[in-house]
């Protein structure tokens, strides 16, 4: 039986799909569950599984953030094999309304709702409450978005594919590493390095530049060895990763005029704890020549693991 008060909320990445239910716009999300995308042949299949297990009734509306550009009715995921029509999916699930937004657009919509316990500050001051906010985050890919605070009380998301901008070097060592990757990939985007798969690319390239043999390590293993200081190559790789991330984050702050703050989301950086603060990240963020003073007061916030900000942002997509 369908109940018009219930909403399905989703956050779909290249690796995992997470869902919740909401009983009306003001209600908190509930009935959280997460699934591995690789275990299901389609998005429809995983949604049906979730609804069979969790839904007290059939929701009438749904909003889903997905790690993909949204341009028209057809979606073919960049970092996964799922392809579908939004309208066909709406009809198949018998929904009155189905809204898709880019996953980082959904996360951007959640930024004004974040509680103090959901974020950790890395440098800067309080920020300008009326100014735009910037968001980026390494995960399966590199998500980038922004939020403009509207004078009419409505927030407007800036949705793009900033993870695919050309990655720039800030010193000779970075230039050598990027040159190795350019020979392999041609175009070296920020996502080629600043993501889970990108951490492996960076590790292999760093080892090649320094004449060391690389091991077949997962991104998690590289991170673990770096944090424990048990592997010099992994440690140097993580240091360069965070330096490049600071450079890209500073570029984004300048591009959007994000004096309200820059937020780091995704599933990777938050797991590295205080290592970010001890790294060159903040120095690289501000190291923009004549505009260092412009960037100095801008706060950077790390969104902490757990919680439901992306799903709260998806819910807001139904209301603005």
Residues in the chain: 320
* Single pTM value for the model: 0.88
Residue 188, SS3 per DSSP: coil
Q: 319: pLDDT confidence band, cut at 50, 70 and 90?
A: confident
Residue 141 has a pLDDT of 86
Neighbours of 210 (CB within 10 A): 13
- If phi over 0 gives left and psi between -120 and 50 gives alpha, with beta otherwise, what is residue 276? alpha
Residue 63, SS3 per DSSP: strand
pLDDT digits (tens, 9 = 90+) for 88-126: 999 999 999 999 998 889 999 999 889 999 999 999 998
Mean per-residue pLDDT for 39-62?
Answer: 92
- Torsion angle of the four alpha carbons 102, 106, 108, 112, in this order, in degrees rounded to the nearest 10: 170
Percent of the chain with pLDDT over 90: 78
Is residue 81 pLDDT above 80, yes or no?
A: yes
Using the Cα atoms of residue 164, residue 165, residue 166 and residue 167 in order, give the sign of their dihedral: negative
Contact in structure between 236 and 207 (CB atoms under 8 Å): no
Cα Rg, the chain, nearest whole Å: 20
Q: Which domains are assigned to the chain?
A: 2-103+308-317 (3.30.420.40)
- Distance separating alpha carbons of residues 152 and 119, to the nearest angstrom: 26
Is residue 67 pLDDT above 70, yes or no?
A: yes
Residues 6+ apart with CB under 8 A from 37: 12, 13, 14, 15, 16, 17, 46, 80, 82
- Distance separating alpha carbons of residues 34 and 97, to the nearest angstrom: 22
DSSP 92-106: HTT-SEEEEEEHHHH
- Distance separating alpha carbons of residues 200 and 125, to the nearest angstrom: 34
Contact in structure between 167 and 193 (CB atoms under 8 Å): yes
């Amino acid at each position: 039986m369908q109940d018009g008060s219930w909403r399905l909320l989703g956050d779909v990445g290249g690796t995992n799909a997470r869902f919740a239910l909401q009983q009306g716009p003001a209600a908190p999300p509930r009935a959280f569950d997460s699934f591995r995308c690789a275990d299901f042949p389609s998005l429809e299949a995983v949604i049906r599984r979730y609804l069979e297990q969790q839904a007290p009734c059939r929701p009438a509306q749904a909003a889903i953030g997905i790690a993909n550009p949204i341009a028209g009715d057809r979606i073919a995921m960049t970092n996964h094999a799922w392809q579908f029509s939004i309208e066909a999916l709406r009809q198949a699930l018998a929904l009155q309304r189905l809204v898709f937004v880019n996953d980082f657009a959904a996360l951007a919509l959640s930024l004004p709702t974040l509680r103090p316990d959901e974020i950790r500050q890395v440098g800067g001051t309080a920020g300008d409450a009326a100014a735009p906010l910037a968001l980026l985050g390494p995960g399966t890919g590199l998500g980038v978005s922004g939020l403009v605070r509207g004078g009419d009380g409505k927030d407007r998301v800036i949705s793009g594919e900033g993870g695919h901008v050309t990655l720039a070097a800030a010193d000779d060592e970075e230039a050598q590493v990027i040159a190795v990757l350019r020979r392999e990939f041609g175009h070296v985007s920020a996502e080629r390095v600043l993501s889970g798969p990108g951490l492996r690319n960076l590790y292999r390239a760093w080892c090649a530049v320094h004449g060391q043999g690389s091991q077949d390590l997962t991104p998690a293993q590289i991170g673990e060895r770096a944090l424990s200081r048990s592997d010099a190559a992994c440690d140097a790789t993580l240091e360069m990763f965070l330096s490049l991330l600071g450079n890209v984050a500073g570029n984004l702050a300048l591009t959007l005029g994000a004096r309200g703050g820059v937020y780091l989301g995704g599933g990777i950086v938050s797991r590295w704890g205080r290592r970010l603060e001890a790294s060159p990240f903040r120095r690289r963020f501000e190291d923009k020549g004549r505009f260092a003073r412009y960037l100095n007061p801008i706060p950077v916030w790390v969104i902490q693991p757990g919680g439901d900000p992306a799903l709260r942002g998806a819910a807001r997509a139904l209301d603005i």
